[in-house]
Structure 1
Amino acid sequence: MEKHGPGYQPGTTVEVTDATDDDAYLEQMGYKQEFRRDFTFLGLFSLVSSELAVLPGVAGTIWYTMGYMGLIGMTWGWLVAAVMGQFLVYSLAELSSAYPTSGGLYYWAYMTASPRWRMLSCYVVAWSMIISTPLACVSITYSAAQLLVATVQVGLPDYEPASWHIYLVYLAMMFASYLVICLPTRYVSWFNIWAYFIGTIVLIIVTILLPIKADHLNSAKDIFTKGENQIAWPAGWSFCMTFLSATWTLSGYDVAAHVAEETHNAAITVPRAMVWSTWSSAFLGFVYLISLALCATDIDSLMANPLGQPVGTLMADVLGTKGGIALMTINAFTQFACGVAFFVAASRIFFAYSRDKALPFSDWLSRVSPRTQTPNNASLVVFILSAAFGVISVGSDTAFEAFFSGSTLAGQIGYILPVLGRCLYENNPEYRNGPYNLGRYSRAIRWTAVAWNAFIMPLVSL
């Protein structure tokens, strides 16, 4: 990898003088403008929110909250992790304002580390992200396929899907994602705005409707005070494991950084989109989980359901089969939109690394389509790799899931190293704040983010 980019001059320090002069600022960082800046704040906020995907995210991680500590896992477990995770969001948002480039995390890792460690930090972060982001795209889209197949099972109870049925649905979804992100940026933006709008409206309706339609409810006191350890581990450790739901759902917000070169006024728009989307998703997720906790009067039955989808079963029980099918279908769509957002991030990561000559066939991978002004060659490679990884699920679900446990840990490493570098090399003479910065609170927020991440990483490993 070259020092800061193809055009960087040694000794140059990057300082924002006019945050709206995106192209000149990018040139200061050593890169030329190749994309069309069609992402506005609304489009970028929607892209990040689609990637966070609260509606399917809660459903897909209910095993950690309800499955470990019952009702208090669904309420306090989510709330604690969602609030503590914001320290890392703020820390990365500050860096995204200082260095708004598609390289994102690995560029920040280089710029924030001391001269002795910057190459190693950059290398580790680069490989962490190139492992975690494409695999997250695979995992999320595969979950959407599973959810769609489970929806069919609700309507056709005698249908028993084979693993290759799910793979074919997954492959169709991945191909649809590929077609979407090869469109010009403005269409990708519109897709995510509509996906976010649909998902949020349905989430609000479901949150209100479930307690109204349910025959029996838990008391408000119970959902905040009643916890039942569902496994053989100590209760305190089981409660800590509930943090993984919010940690997993409220991640991937770095997609905003990876499309910085496609965003107008990126030094301000990117960090604001990261912070606003994570806070709004944290709030919506908490309210949604309160609604689910009120209705979850028989946790053992929900966890033992044959569909493997406790939230889907709960919706079908409360709203009837047709209502459950409708909501599960929308869940699958919002999960698909989440996969599209991760696909966008993965393609831009492959493009950025190739631009810095860090991958094989870099000249071909870093080409930008003159017609759409998007990195379609990089997108094609992500699609091919995703299709290949999906085949593993046909042979072994256990092996398939093992890849994604590792990818989650890799993502956490990629997130924290740039922040750690900033903490340990506080007097970095080359670092300059962007227009969005934390001021005097920056150091305390960054160190809190490092401490929380150090606590979370062993949990992710389990």
Structure 2
Amino acid sequence: MTHAHDPVRSLASPTQAEHQPKMAKDLSAFTLFAVAFGFVSIATGIFTAYGSVLNSSGPLGIWTWPIVVVGQLAVALVFGALAARVPVTGYAYQWVSRLANPVIGWIMGWISFMFLGVVVVAVDYTIASTILPVLLGYAGTTANAWAITAVVILLQAALVAISTHATQKVNNTAVTLQLIGMIGLTVLLFAVGLITGQFDWSTLFSTGSVPTEGYFALGSLSDISPWAMGFLLGAFTIVGFESAANLAEETKDPANVVPRAMWRAVLSLGVLGFLFLVAVTGLSGDPAALANSPTPVADVITTVLGSFVGKALLVLVVISIFSCGLVITLSGSRLIWAMSRDERFPGWRSFRKISPSRGTPMNATVFMFLVGQAVLGVFSAFSTDALFALFSAATLLPAVIYAGTVALYIVKRKQLPPTRGFTLGRWEVPVLAVAVVWLIWELLIFRDESFRASWVYVFVMLGIGAVYFVWLLSRKGIRGLTMPDLASIDAELDAEPPHHA
């Protein structure tokens, strides 16, 4: 098998690699699963967005969750097919650069960078704005929320910069705790709720304080129905599974391990998350009153299981959110490093370096930290509802990334090299159909007027990227934007023994 001139299977040249320290290729299958699971983090997503969904869609909004799971599972399977053919750090940036051309690939890389820059702030801001004030009993303000979030982002960046292995251990432990905690809580809620008679099945089909008239309407050009708003809960939560692909070059047998990590994370999180949502919603009592609480999930747990378990949930959520932010920082630093290795990111000479002593892209990680601080400052200063603006922007951007990547896969899939592991086989066309329908529907949701702040962030960041892109064109021209000094990675892959799914 040789693809010496195939631009799809490529990495930095051996000459370049000889002068750069390499990251170790020793990540295990569980570590990759934990990375995907930790990024998605149902404890983080549900705790952050559940109150917003109660306000916009009522309890009935949770029934959009299974649809999101099916749609995102289809996307994860498509990404798995790509990861099995192009096992290169940088995921969507690398794939699109090879599926389409380096110019479109650069745009996708920049959008991915925009997403990672905002989502790390979105999840970490939840700790400071809603959880710690309740857990520690102090009054939350914009000022202390900003300060605490800044410290959390700093701690995550420091850990990622210092040691990949330490980061793995922290995330693996956090994911294990989250799995045990969420399963245990779900079982306890159902058991206590059903035994005591507190569980109310009718609440699951109530719209709460949301009017029933026009609930399922298609909406207008700038307005969507309450039911459509419910999709934000799942769409915000079940993203980031592709972060496993961003560690492909540090993983043994990536063609099998990475795809499995992605789809298993989506499926397991989807099932567990829905059961947890049903349990919490069925025990919510008065959902209209609950919607006004900054911590509605914790309130339900405290009412049903007592204050000790309620506090324990908050501690679990803090651990889960810290783990989620850790994985986002890890993924963001790898993307910056991958684009810098290809000489296509601002300041690439510094950001492509690997620390000889740490084996980590330390400079790229420091820059990821600075970006997070900048995004935090902007949203805290200019948005009256910073948390909603952050989580909606962090939902819009991956939808754009997923749609662009899936569209290019459909066009170019016949030209891809053969897989060395995972394949969609005869299910390819049905999976693609589901992914396309879901992504079109998801993108249409963001026409609503309430997402104006999210679109402003997108356009501002695209404007910054456009300035740099014009500068690249002025220096290199379109031909000069081709991936520099690329060599086939087939020899590297062929040197490894074949693996089977």
Given the two structures, how large is their TM-score scaled by the length of structure 1?
0.86
Distance 1:11 1:256, change over 3 A: closer
Residues 1:150 and 2:138 are matched in the alignment? no
Contact 2:83 2:259 in 1 (8 A): yes
**Alignment match, 1:217:** 198
Which amino acid is the alignment partner of residue 206 of structure 1? L
Letter in 2 for 1:187: A
Which of 80, 86, 98 does residue 111 from structure 1 map onto? 98
Distance 1:112 1:223 in 2: 47
For residue 338 of structure 2, the aligned residue among 352, 368, 371 is 352
Query: Per-residue displacement from partner, 1:287-317 (whole Å, max 9, x unpaired)?
Result: 1112112211210110122xx1211222232
Aligned to 1:370: 356
Residue identity opposite 2:314 in structure 1: M
* 2:215 is the counterpart of 1:235: yes
Residues in 1 aligned to 2:228 and 2:141: alpha-carbon distance in whole angstroms = 35
User: How much has 1:213 moved relative to structure 2?
Assistant: 4.4
Choose from 186, 199, 202 the match for 2:181.
202
Any stretches of 5+ residues in structure 2 without a counterpart?
217-224, 449-501
The CA distance in 2 between the partners of 1:410 and 1:66, in whole Å, is 23
Aligned counterpart for 2:35 among listed residues 34, 39, 47: 47
CA 1:11/1:387 → structure 2, altered by over 3 Å: closer, same or farther? closer
Q: Distance in 1 between matches of 2:99 and 2:447?
A: 27
Q: Which of 253, 266, 280 is equivalent to 1:278?
A: 266
Structure 2 vs 1, CA of residues 325 and 31 (structure 1 numbering), >3 Å: closer, same or farther?
Answer: farther
Secondary structure, in 3 states, of the residue corresponding to 1:172? Answer: helix
| Residue 43 of structure 1: how far off its partner (Å) | 0.9
Query: Which residue is 2:220 aligned to?
Result: none
SS in 2 for 1:425: helix
Partner in structure 1 of residue 398 of structure 2: 411
Alignment check: 8 A CA contact 2:106 2:344 kept: no
Per-residue deviation, residues 36-89 of structure 1 (Å, max 9, x unmatched): 023100111111111111122111121354333433322x22112112221111
Instruction: Note if contact 1:64-1:241 (Cα within 8 Å) is conserved in structure 2.
Output: no
Work out the CA distance in 2 between the residues paired with 1:399 and 1:161.
14
Distance 1:170 1:461 in 2: 30
CA 1:325–1:403 in 2, change beyond 3 Å: closer, same or farther?
A: closer
Over aligned residues, Cα RMSD in angstroms?
2.6
**Residue in 1 that maps onto 2:257:** 269
> Secondary structure at the residue paired with 2:326?
helix
1:185, 1:262 within 8 Å by CA — same for their partners in 2? no
- 1:91-133 residue CA offsets vs partner (Å, 9 max, x unmatched): 11110111111121011112223xxxx3443133112101111
Is 1:78 equivalent to 2:65 in the alignment? Answer: yes
Partner of 1:244: 232
In 1, Cα distance between equivalents of 2:120 and 2:6: 38
Over 3 Å counting, the alpha-carbon distance change for 1:45 and 1:461 in structure 2 is farther
Counterpart residue type for residue 128 of structure 1: I
Pick from 185, 190, 196: which aligns with 2:169? 190
Paired residue type of 2:327? A
Shift of 1:361: 1.6
Counterparts of 2:286 and 2:8 in 1: how far apart (Å)? 60
How do 1:58-77 residues align onto structure 2 when only pairs under 5 Å count? 58-74=46-62, 76-77=63-64
Residue of 258, 264, 269 corresponding to 2:246: 258
2:266 maps to a residue whose letter is: T
Bigger mean CA offset, 434-443 vs 345-354 = 434-443
Q: Give the letter aligned to residue 259 of structure 1.
A: L
Secondary structure of residue in 2 paired with 1:182 = helix
Structure 1: distance between partners of 2:233 and 2:446: 10
What code does the residue aligned with 1:383 have? F
- How many Å apart are 1:253 and its aligned residue? 0.8
How has the CA–CA distance of structure 1 residues 389 and 46 changed in structure 2, closer, same or farther, with 3 Å as cutoff?
same
Residues 216 and 295, structure 1, Cα contact 8 Å, conserved in 2: no
